Amino acid sequence: MINIFYRIVGSKRVALILDCIGIAFGAVIAAFAIEEFLVPCTILDGGVVGIGIMINSLAHIPLGILTIVFNIPFLAVGSRQLGKLFIVKSAFGMTVFSTFLQIFAPLRNVTNVLGVVRLDEARKHKTKAKEILADIPDDTDKETLKSLKQTANAEKQEYSQLKKLRWSLLTNGDKLSGSKTEHLQSILQDHHDLAVCYAMKEEICRLYTLKDYDEAVKSWTDWFVAAKESEIPALVKFAEQKEKRLPGLAAHAIYPISTGKLEGFNNKITPSYPQCCKYSYPHAQQPLICLNEE
């Protein structure tokens, strides 16, 4: 790449700077994609990053630190074969990549509160099932063995149900069918933290329907207080991040322009579509932007 820039600008120093800018830009995009798409959706990447994602999921060691640690041996070996300039640029790209993994990690936690709590609850059931099976003595009688295996299978079923519960949690409660609502409520009854996060999500939907600014400020403030008092780490972090945007959140009561009522929870953007001289949400009553004839 540096040779291409050199032919264009005629200066090796400028070409090197442009090359580093390109490396940094690519590293930032890659870090964002991993933290905001792969990790929240539990999709593995290949190589060092894939190993880092697995260890991060199991041991909760920051992915940025793992990436640096795992890449150091490759840099050491490569320094003897590929030259100093290549190693310097590789180290630069790795540093930028790892740094932005750390920067984007809190955003991932904020935008996926329900997902984080849901997976934590699911892992508890999976771990409990393994512990039950591992603690069965060799001399256990058949009836007790059968009972313990049934208990372990019940834990595995709870794990499976929680893993499949994503869309029911993210969908507005009034849009769920009767059977799905009943199924969801039966699971929430047995999982306190998940039930709290779901109730807070539903309350956010209500806050976005408010039309009075002062009432919105008070309601959002109460929501932040309740979220912090829950002592659920993911929800507390979400509240701390969103509280900084209180004026903008409350302003929705006056200017109802939004990229989705579940902003921060389902991280989805409802696309707008053009209608002649205006842009509006599908099924919305008022246009987002109206171009005046004046």
Of 124, 122, 123, 120, nearest in space to 233 by CA: 120
**Residue 271, pLDDT above cutoff 90:** no
Give residue 42's pLDDT band: very low, low, confident or very high (50, 70, 90). Answer: low
Residue 93 has pLDDT above 50, yes or no: yes
Tokens in use for 21?
């800018």
pLDDT score at 215: 93
Q: Structure tokens of 286?
A: 């008022």
DSSP string computed for 61-107:
--HHHHHHHHHHHHHHHHTTTS-HHHHHHHHHHHHHHHHHHHHHHHH
**Token pair in block for residue 118:** 């849901």
Find out whether 115 and 166 touch, Cβ atoms under 8 Å.
yes
Model pLDDT for residues 97-156, shown as the tens digit of each residue? 988 888 777 555 444 677 778 878 888 888 898 988 888 888 888 888 888 889 999 888
pLDDT category of residue 220 using cuts at 50, 70 and 90? very high
SS3 sequence of 114-169:
HHHHHHHHHHHHHHHHHHHHHCCCCCCCHHHHHHHHHHHHHHHHHHHHHHCCHHHH
The answer on pLDDT for 254 being more than 70 is: yes
Q: How far is CA 105 from CA 30, 72, 166, 252, in A?
A: 13, 22, 20, 27
To the question of pTM greater than 0.85 for the whole model, the response is no
Q: Determine the pLDDT at residue 285.
A: 37
Q: What span, in angstroms and rounded, lies between the C-alpha atoms of 147 and 143?
A: 6
pLDDT at 227 over 60: yes
pLDDT band at residue 79, thresholds of 50, 70 and 90? confident
Distance (Å, whole) CA 277 – CA 289: 9
Q: How confident is the model at residue 257 (pLDDT cuts 50, 70, 90)?
A: low
* pLDDT value, residue 259: 45
Mean pLDDT value of segment 251-277: 50
Q: What integer pLDDT is reported at residue 289 of this predicted model?
A: 32
The pLDDT value recorded for residue 117 is: 83
* The pLDDT value given to residue 226: 93
pLDDT at residue 5 is higher than 90:
no
Cα–Cα distance for residue pair 257/58, rounded to 1 Å: 40
Question: For residue range 178-217, what is the model confidence (pLDDT) as tens digits?
Answer: 888 888 888 888 888 888 888 888 888 888 889 999 999 9
Q: Which amino acid is at 154?
A: A
So what's the pLDDT on residue 262? 43
